[in-house]
Structure 1
Amino acid sequence: MSTKAILERARRVSPDEVGDLRERVVQINRVAKVVQGGRRFHFSSVVVVGDGEGHVGVGIGKAGEVPDSIRKAVENAKKRLIRVPLEQRTIPHDVEVKFKATRVIMKPAAPGTGVIAGAGVRAVAEAAGIRDLIAKTHGSNNPVNVTQAALLALSQLESPEDVARRRSIPVERLRVRRRAKSNER
């Protein structure tokens, strides 16, 4: 399934349903176009928005001035908001995603661990409200691809309730098996 299809199928959220969104600029890039009279400069921005309570979006904006590119990126990110299932302060299970040349691996962490991740993944995780997470990025470290891969990874998370419903078993049985597995270690 394509990346676009996965994000379309993800738990999309309207910006009106979400409370106060915080914005975080991940990257501002100046690009030049060489014309007869010299160089023309434009700017592209990557912005992450989130409410810190399980809603996050990533947007890219391009314009002739930095503030305009940031504004466009924020509007784009608000259109792409998704809901992330959180398990207390972390994610419910491991997830590994490949987006173009970037591979992102995310694992839940114990309370108090903090967000151990690179800048792009950290921005997405903190905007979503994740407080404890271990993440590793392999391959391309381009902030555009890293933030998109992180958003894709979070969109593939399933809450224990969703897994139990899909398997047609009670949630308690799922949780008991998980606890038993963690006690074996």
Structure 2
Amino acid sequence: MAMENNAQSTNLPARPPRGGGRGAGRGGQHDQRRPGRGRGKRDERAPREFEQKILDLARVTRVTAGGKRMSFRCALVIGDKKGRVGFGVAKGADVQIAIEKAYKQAKKHVLVVPLLNQTLPHPVWVKFGSALILVKPAPEGTGLKSGGAVRMILEFAGVPNAVSKIVNSSNKINIAKATLEALKQMRSIKTKASIVEGTATLEPQPVVDTI
């Protein structure tokens, strides 16, 4: 009997070594994977042409026949701090969409600000809606004596010295638009001289019918 048991035991298949079961199969599958399919570092986004900063972000509601629709409104200031600045307002279904749309809107309305001796060429009064602001030059070393939206826009435009005053409004968007309008009206010394001499070619202004 002992001899028969030994003979039968020799015919039994050998047990697989420990750790060679499912782990080995998985290891084989990992080895057969295509190259480059693993998780790699995400491609870094190319730097944008302008820096950006949110001036105002609010959730707004629109009432329609089907009910209320929620969205986000973003007011964004962009600039290169080298004389170019822009401002945009847009709405989106979420915050990121609103920011992207506001950036594109601001990029369409970028303007170049003329500087003279590290400040603005001359003072300007501007009224936009309920906002009335004064933006005027300041001596070198004064810095920006401004606040809120005016300061943000002047910083992104790269104006090192200026003084401003806000009258009759606390609406950030109206103040920002008034500041942009003031910067549009800035003329360099050469442009002002050519206007006096009558040799300047200015863009025609739209005619507003007041009747």
Using the size of structure 1 for normalisation, the TM-score is: 0.76
State the SS of the aligned residue for 1:91.
Answer: coil
Q: Which residue of 2 is the match for residue 64 of structure 1?
A: 93
Task: In structure 2, list runs of 5 or more residues that go unmatched.
Answer: 1-47, 199-211
Aligned amino acid, residue 84 of structure 1: V
1:112 is displaced (CA, Å) by 1.6
**TM superposition shift of 1:142:** 0.7
Q: Which has the higher contact order (CA 8 A, sep 6+)?
A: 1
Residue by residue over 1:56-77, the C-alpha shift from the partner in whole angstroms, topping out at 9 and shown as x without a partner, is: 1110010111111011101000
Q: Aligned partners of 1:33, 1:99: CA distance in 2, in Å?
A: 25
The one of 123, 142, 149 equivalent to 1:94 is: 123
* Alignment pair present for 1:126 and 2:126: no
Pick one of 126, 134, 138 that aligns with 1:109. Answer: 138
Quote the residue 2:103 is aligned against.
74
* SS of residue in 2 equivalent to 1:29: strand
Structure 1 segments unaligned to the other structure (5+ residues): 1-18, 170-185
Give, in whole Å, the separation in 1 of the partners of 2:63 and 2:87.
30
Q: Given the alignment, which residue of 160, 182, 188 partners 1:153?
A: 182
For the residue of structure 2 that corresponds to 1:96, the secondary structure is strand
Identity in percent: 36
Cα distance change on mapping 1:92 and 1:34 into 2, 3 Å: same
Aligned mates of 2:67, 2:197 — CA distance in 1: 65
Partner residue, 2:167: 138
Task: List per-residue Cα deviations over 1:60-96 (Å, max 9, x = no partner).
Answer: 0101111110111010000001111111321010011
| 2:85 is the alignment partner of 1:25 | no
Higher helix share: 1
C-alpha displacement of 1:29: 1.0
Query: Which entry has the higher C-alpha Rg, 1 or 2?
Result: 2
**Cα–Cα, structure 1 residues 83 and 36, in superposed 2: closer, same or farther, change >3 Å?**
closer
Deviations 1:90-141 (A, max 9, x none): 1010011000110010111111211111211111111111011110111121
User: Displacement, 1:39?
Assistant: 5.3
Which residue type is aligned with residue 105 of structure 2? N
In 2, Cα distance between equivalents of 1:80 and 1:36? 34
